[in-house]
């Protein structure tokens, strides 16, 4: 197995992880000082959200220089130190690659908008259009496309006298992948970071690289009353076009070339690529084929208190059944774009969701703070910084703002929870930090943190690391599955996602594989931290939010 197939991934949002210089914003030196935490909780790889120079309109996802570090986060030498310190601890480092758009402050865009003359090499680095003249004789964009952050996908540039396309904010112009020069530039960016020793990339918003060639076509309005303009349209003209997959294939070849190059120096260094694509399994699966090691699987992030175990089982099965042969599944619970688990499900379900994440087959990704069960913080409309929140307007900002899940990591019960010594942090620390923090939870053996650690230890067992998967029983309350492997004891994982206690009798279950449950097994894990004990398989009692793992030798 490759390193990425064995690792628990952990997303660090650098602005919010650890501030080392007291400006209220996290930085790379801060991340370095917290690497031991990652090791302690059993993480093998981290994914770092952007730290490149940026005007921070979309908090780093608007890059103005792909090959440098924003001063707020530190310097290239801090980055080199981060790589060295991480590798020294056997931690891999995956960085964010933002290929779809740059910042409007990027020198390429500044040059591109300066003139449409042929002599301008940067002329076609972005997607430009004259627009059309409507019936009232007014100049308007060439089509009805709306951006992710609301408003037209087109913005008029006075200087160049043309519209430019932006799938995200006005300040995030889309690069033009119909221009070979753009491909060459972006390949150089990948090489720059590969040379610096990164272990892989997360391809940001990669399904939006291409738009249809004929820009004078409207997208279909499918849901006129949807909150958030973007969700009203079907995005067949602007998302996951087949050309996108060719580019991903080329990037994968580049990564593989690097692997061989370094192997010659006897340094085996496998590089990794994960695609960020949303929109459902059908849209996501092709990314496994075109070159990504995996597309992030967001199925579990759809779980909330109105959904039951059957819903969960269905979405788990959907991923596993749709995946091309030989590929590796993966699971995500949260990210810097999604409401936190504790806020969606209530704190009762934190441990059991982490149990699912860590014991399903494949690669888990934990968003920072999920190991201690952090809760979204409250941010008023006036304080809202996220362009997606502001774009939604005062009435709907709470549905769309991503500020609440980006609050600072909670380390201690001290000021700003040990995140920063500043007077004010860039987003307020969530008010529950005196009880919900790493230091406090380390002292309590049954805390979310220690339960998380038990789970990352458990998943190292062969049966979880490499074993097969099958559902055991599923009903509205109970979701259960087995993990099994030749020559190993089978593990049965049982969880209650319902609204009332439930007793499950496994000894009476029919099993398609003709594997029968014995009367008793050994409980190796329980979400309340109970020690290992013998347990009867004919009456497994679980209250909502409880989960257990039971190990046994199946009867044949």
CB burial class (10 A; 0-12, 13-18, 19+) of residue 252? middle
Q: Are residues 281 and 302 in contact, defined by beta-carbon separation less than 8 angstroms?
A: no
Angle between helical axes of 242-264 and 180-195 (0-180°, round to 10) = 30
Question: Among Mg ion, ligand GLC, none, what does residue 546 contact (CB within 5–8 Å per kind)?
Answer: none
∠ Cα 334 166 292 (to 5°): 50
Identify which of residues 168 and 298 has a Cβ nearer to Mg ion in the complex: 168
157: Cβ contacts below 8 Å, ≥ 6 apart: 113, 163, 164
Active-site residue, from 70, 171, 204, 308 = 204
> How far apart (Å, rounded) are the C-alpha atoms in residues 462 and 523?
17
In angstroms, give the least distance from the CB of 99 to Mg ion: 9
Q: Does residue 213 carry a catalytic annotation?
A: no
In angstroms, give the least distance from the CB of 98 to ligand GLC: 6
Q: Check binding of 172 to Mg ion (CB under 5 A).
A: no
> Number of helices and strands (H, E) in the chain?
16, 21
Q: From the list 51, 61, 125, 208, which residue makes contact with Mg ion (rule: CB under 5 A)?
A: 208
Q: Check binding of 204 to Mg ion (CB under 5 A).
A: no
In angstroms, give the least distance from the CB of 137 to Mg ion: 30
Binding mask 456-475 for Mg ion (x = CB under 5 A): --------------------
Q: Check binding of 251 to Mg ion (CB under 5 A).
A: no
> How far apart (Å, rounded) are the C-alpha atoms in residues 306 and 527?
22
Question: Among Mg ion, ligand GLC, none, what does residue 477 contact (CB within 5–8 Å per kind)?
Answer: none
Give the residue among 546, 529, 552, 526 at the shortest CA–CA distance from 479. Answer: 546
In this structure, the strands spanning 9-12 and 363-367 are parallel
User: What is the token pair recorded at 143?
Assistant: 């089509």
In angstroms, give the least distance from the CB of 335 to ligand GLC: 7
Q: Check binding of 174 to Mg ion (CB under 5 A).
A: yes
Give the residue among 175, 15, 167, 180 at the shortest CA–CA distance from 106. Answer: 175
Identify which of residues 275 and 341 has a Cβ nearer to ligand GLC in the complex: 275
Q: Does residue 204 carry a catalytic annotation?
A: yes
Active-site residue, from 157, 276, 308, 386 = 276
Question: Among Mg ion, ligand GLC, none, what does residue 168 contact (CB within 5–8 Å per kind)?
Answer: ligand GLC
Give the residue among 495, 492, 502, 481 at the shortest CA–CA distance from 537. Answer: 492
Positions in the binding site for ligand GLC (CB under 6 A): 58, 61, 98, 168, 204-205, 276, 336-337
Identify which of residues 58 and 370 has a Cβ nearer to Mg ion in the complex: 58
258: Cβ contacts below 8 Å, ≥ 6 apart: 191, 194, 269, 271
Identify which of residues 37 and 336 has a Cβ nearer to ligand GLC in the complex: 336
Identify which of residues 16 and 437 has a Cβ nearer to ligand GLC in the complex: 16
3-state secondary structure of 45: strand
Query: Beta partners for 495?
Result: 479, 547
Question: Among Mg ion, ligand GLC, none, what does residue 61 contact (CB within 5–8 Å per kind)?
Answer: ligand GLC
Q: Taken in order 19, 276, 267, 197, is the CA torsion positive or negative?
A: negative
Which residue's CB atom is positioned nearest to Mg ion?
174
Contacts 24+ apart (CB under 8 A), 504-512: 504/473, 504/478, 504/480, 504/539, 504/540, 504/542, 505/537, 505/538, 505/539, 505/540, 506/472, 506/473, 506/480, 506/537, 506/538, 506/540, 507/537, 507/538, 508/538, 509/472, 509/473, 511/472, 512/470
In angstroms, give the least distance from the CB of 337 to Mg ion: 18
Question: Among ligand GLC, Mg ion, none, what does residue 198 contact (CB within 5–8 Å per kind)?
Answer: none
Identify which of residues 61 and 517 has a Cβ nearer to ligand GLC in the complex: 61
Q: Check binding of 154 to Mg ion (CB under 5 A).
A: no
Q: Check binding of 219 to Mg ion (CB under 5 A).
A: no
Question: Among ligand GLC, Mg ion, none, what does residue 174 contact (CB within 5–8 Å per kind)?
Answer: Mg ion
Identify which of residues 98 and 190 has a Cβ nearer to ligand GLC in the complex: 98
Binding mask 86-125 for Mg ion (x = CB under 5 A): --------------x-------------------------
**What values do phi and psi take at 430, rounded to 5?**
-60, 140
Which residues form the catalytic set?
A: 204, 276
Residues in the site for Mg ion, rule: CB under 5 A?
Answer: 100, 174, 208
């Amino acid at each position: 197995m490759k390193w990425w197939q064995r690792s628990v991934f952990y997303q660090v949002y650098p602005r919010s992880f650890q501030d080392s210089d007291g400006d209220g914003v996290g930085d790379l030196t801060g991340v370095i000082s917290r690497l031991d935490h990652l090791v302690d909780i059993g993480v093998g790889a981290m994914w770092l959200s952007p730290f490149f120079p940026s005007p921070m309109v979309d908090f780093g996802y608007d890059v103005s220089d792909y090959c440098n570090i924003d001063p707020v986060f530190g310097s290239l030498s801090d980055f080199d130190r981060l790589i060295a310190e991480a590798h020294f601890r056997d931690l891999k480092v995956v960085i964010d690659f933002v290929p779809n758009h740059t910042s409007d402050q990027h020198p390429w865009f500044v040059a591109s908008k300066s003139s449409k003359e042929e002599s301008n090499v940067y002329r076609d680095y972005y997607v430009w259009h004259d627009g059309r003249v409507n019936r009232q004789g007014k100049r308007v964009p060439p089509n009805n496309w709306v951006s992710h952050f609301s408003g037209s996908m087109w913005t008029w540039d006075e200087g160049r006298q043309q519209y430019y396309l932006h799938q995200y904010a006005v300040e995030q112009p889309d690069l033009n992948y119909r221009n070979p020069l753009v491909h060459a530039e972006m390949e150089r960016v990948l090489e720059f970071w590969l040379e610096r020793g990164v272990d892989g990339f997360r391809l940001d918003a990669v399904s939006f690289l291409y738009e249809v060639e004929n820009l004078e076509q409207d997208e279909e309005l499918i849901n006129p009353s949807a909150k958030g303009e973007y969700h009203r349209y079907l995005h067949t003209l602007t998302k996951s076009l087949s050309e996108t997959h060719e580019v991903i294939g080329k990037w994968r070849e580049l990564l593989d070339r690097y692997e061989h190059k370094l192997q010659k120096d006897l340094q085996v260094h496998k590089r990794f690529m994960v695609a960020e694509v949303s929109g459902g399994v059908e849209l996501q699966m092709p990314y496994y084929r075109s070159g990504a090691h995996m597309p992030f699987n967001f199925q579990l992030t759809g779980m909330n208190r109105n959904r039951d175990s059957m819903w969960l089982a269905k979405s788990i099965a959907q991923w596993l059944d749709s995946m091309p042969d030989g590929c590796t599944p993966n699971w995500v619970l949260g990210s810097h774009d999604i409401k936190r688990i504790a806020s969606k499900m209530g704190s009762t379900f934190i441990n059991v969701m982490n149990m699912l994440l860590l014991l399903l087959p494949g690669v888990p990704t934990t968003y920072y703070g999920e190991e201690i069960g952090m809760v979204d913080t409250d941010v008023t409309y006036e304080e809202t910084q996220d362009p997606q929140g502001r774009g939604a307007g005062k009435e709907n900002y709470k549905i769309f703002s991503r500020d609440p899940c980006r609050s600072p990591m909670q380390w201690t019960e001290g000021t700003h929870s040990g995140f920063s010594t500043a007077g004010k942090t860039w987003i307020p620390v969530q008010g529950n930090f005196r009880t919900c923090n790493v230091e406090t939870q380390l002292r309590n053996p049954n805390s979310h943190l220690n339960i998380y650690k038990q789970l990352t230890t458990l998943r190292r067992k062969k049966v979880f690391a490499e074993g097969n998967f099958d559902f055991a029983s599923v009903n509205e309350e109970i979701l259960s599955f087995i993990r099994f492997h030749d020559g190993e004891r089978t593990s049965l994982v049982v969880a209650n996602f319902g609204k009332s206690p439930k007793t499950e009798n496994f000894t009476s279950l029919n099993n398609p594989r003709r594997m029968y449950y014995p009367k008793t097994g050994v409980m190796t894990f329980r979400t309340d931290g109970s020690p290992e004990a013998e347990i009867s398989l004919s009456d497994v009692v679980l209250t909502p939010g409880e989960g257990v793992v039971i190990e046994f030798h199946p009867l044949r």
